A and B are shown apart, each in its own frame.
Chain A
């Protein structure tokens, strides 16, 4: 599904190198988690993959289903099947959540050469999917993320994911700012979207999210590289011992 090879990236301004040779392959249907201390480059990896301005790839490659992601505009990456759930979903006053969703869904359909969804079909689908995520109709009418609680914002991200039906989902610290109940609800939403032809990359600081979204593979990232890869037990190890020993063992510090 997603194939990242020797990816190097730096900040466009100042040229500070953040990613220093990331290698990562995610098979269809698999859930991978990336954990790592602050500043290890986890979020940067998600931004570079989704095409945010401000980063320059200096070396390496990233392909999604064989297509070169790095050559595409962000909207083309989305149409190719990539989805990034933001750590801090952006508020857009004055634009209704429903308008936003419909614009996004139809833009992607158009990019794929599919006919746009009719207003009726769209409404039916969004209501049904919102219900599963416990998003009430009132939240759909409100402006995008404006006045939403932390939990509502993250649920809204998952709703977008459910509507856009991406192949590769990156969740950037989806657990940040969530209480236990909200985390459970969001995780249920994600789990409902798991399927053999959809993969996930879950970026998190803490193991607890991985209690809810069970990963197949866990990576530890530090200093712009993946320094250790293992099964779910690796996350538990970090939870118990912290990153310190691991980093020392791998010679990162």
Chain B
């Protein structure tokens, strides 16, 4: 196939993917049309693409999928919310559609304006949203194309538009569910934090078997944005998320994702530090077991320092077993003039057996001369001495392993600022680990050769 044919084929595949989706929300018509053109020109990613070498994008790019029926127990667990008892402004999407029954009755609050993309009248888009919609996503396309983010700009059926003007105590909760009958959902959120505003955004679940989301987050001067996402055990999950965050002077953005078994998860975080003294942290903990369905979890992060005296941290941890595959691609780009940058990146994997795999691609690109940047990437097994220490105290092997898994993930969880959230995350992890132990006890004893001691 010639080069031109290849381009045509890629465009055709991209078009097929778009055309198989439900009709997008009507607002932002011009921006959507422009994004559609960009998406077709870009095409779907493949293994030849630098940032898709480790992750097979084919399941995300195929125009249609067979619907799957997920086991009821799995669904409940995947959808279980963090901080279930905390009062929150909940906006729920089931199968990609707004679900009023699960949502707060009144989508409003002190210091926050909430609108939905699907109900926004064409021509009545607020100015702040016009300035944001597809703009940060476009910014994130250089130097690395992110086709699924563009797909969301072009084709989202719904999403939330949040404008935060004050310090909002009540978290905004995006609660995603799926019934198994709908294969695709595409959502697009806009978050504008005005100067000095503060918001905690929580997300749980997957709104469809295959779920593509884009969040464009603009954090103005001195504003603070906290984000915690939970991608629970869900064997159906095929997800491509992108969060593009821009920070102005003195702004803070902290994002943390806790993920467990899912077939294919690609979480992209693009952070554009545009104002002096801004702070951006992005972290993740993933627990993958490939025993029942394959597990592939990919964190792809790109942090650009474009201002003076800013701090960025990336802390990603993965625990992998039974052929699970974890990928981390993280980059820190320091532009010339971004002096006194403090950039940090660590990615670590704990492999619980020989069959699992961690693929790491840490990158630093620095054009300023007065910066402090460090990165590290490690892959290791359970510390046998620590395991023995715990077992010598009477803790059975599997429970001891679970404790050491928690220990391994602790640094990433520590990135979450709020204590109640940290506790909820640890509690959820403990639940998962305990459920896993019950389900796999017999398997583990054989696989790990429980009786290999002396004798």
Task: Give the B-binding residues of A (Cβ under 8 A).
Answer: 9, 48, 50-53, 55-57, 70-71, 73-75, 77-79, 83-84, 86, 89-90, 92-95, 99-100, 103-104, 107-108, 111, 143, 160, 164
Contact = CB atoms under 8 A, between A and B. Distances in A.
A74 B388 contact: yes
Nearest to B411: A94
Contact of B392 (A9, A71, A84): A84
A103 B454 contact: no
Contacts of B411: 93-94
A70 B388 contact: no
17 contacts: A9-B454, A52-B392, A53-B452, A73-B451, A74-B388, A74-B392, A75-B394, A86-B389, A89-B389, A90-B389, A92-B390, A92-B403, A95-B404, A104-B393, A107-B399, A108-B394, A111-B394
In the A-B complex, the 7 residue pairs with the closest CB atoms: A94-B410, A78-B394, A108-B394, A104-B393, A74-B391, A90-B389, A94-B407
A74 B453 contact: yes
B394 A95 contact: no
B407 A57 contact: no
B62 interface: no
A75 B403 contact: no
Contacts of B408: 94
A108 B400 CA distance: 13
Nearest to B391: A74
B394 A55 contact: no
Contacts of A55: 454
A70 B451 CA distance: 11
Contact of B453 (A53, A86, A94, A143): A53
Given A90-B385, A92-B403, A93-B407, A73 B394 contact: no
Interface size class of B (residues with CB under 8 A): 20 to 34
Contacts of B386: 90, 92
Contacts of B292: none
A1 B390 CA distance: 24
A92 B393 contact: no
A83 B406 CA distance: 25
Nearest to B430: A99
Contacts of A94: 406-411, 413-414
Contact of A75 (B395, B410, B455): B395
B396 interface: yes
A75 B389 contact: no
Nearest to B396: A75
Contacts of A56: 454
A89 B385 CA distance: 10
Nearest to A72: B453
A84 B392 CA distance: 7
Contacts of A48: 454
Contacts of B399: 103, 107
Contacts of B406: 94-95
A118 to B, nearest CB: 18
A77 B392 CA distance: 8
Contact of A92 (B404, B454, B455): B404
Given A53-B384, A74-B388, A92-B404, A164 B393 contact: yes
Interface in B359-396: 383-386, 388-396
Which residue, A70, A74, A104, has most C-beta atoms of chain B within 10 A? A74
A79 B394 contact: yes
B454 A75 contact: no
Given A9-B454, A104-B394, 8 more contacts: A55-B454, A75-B395, A86-B389, A92-B390, A92-B404, A93-B407, A100-B403, A103-B399
A202 B98 CA distance: 68
Contacts of A77: 392
A52 B385 CA distance: 9
A135 to B, nearest CB: 17
Given A104-B394, A164-B393, A52 B388 contact: yes
B450 interface: yes
A98 to B, nearest CB: 13
Which residue, A48, A79, A94, A143, has most C-beta atoms of chain B within 10 A? A94
Contacts of B453: 51, 53, 73-74
A197 B397 CA distance: 29
A52 B386 CA distance: 11
B392 A70 contact: no
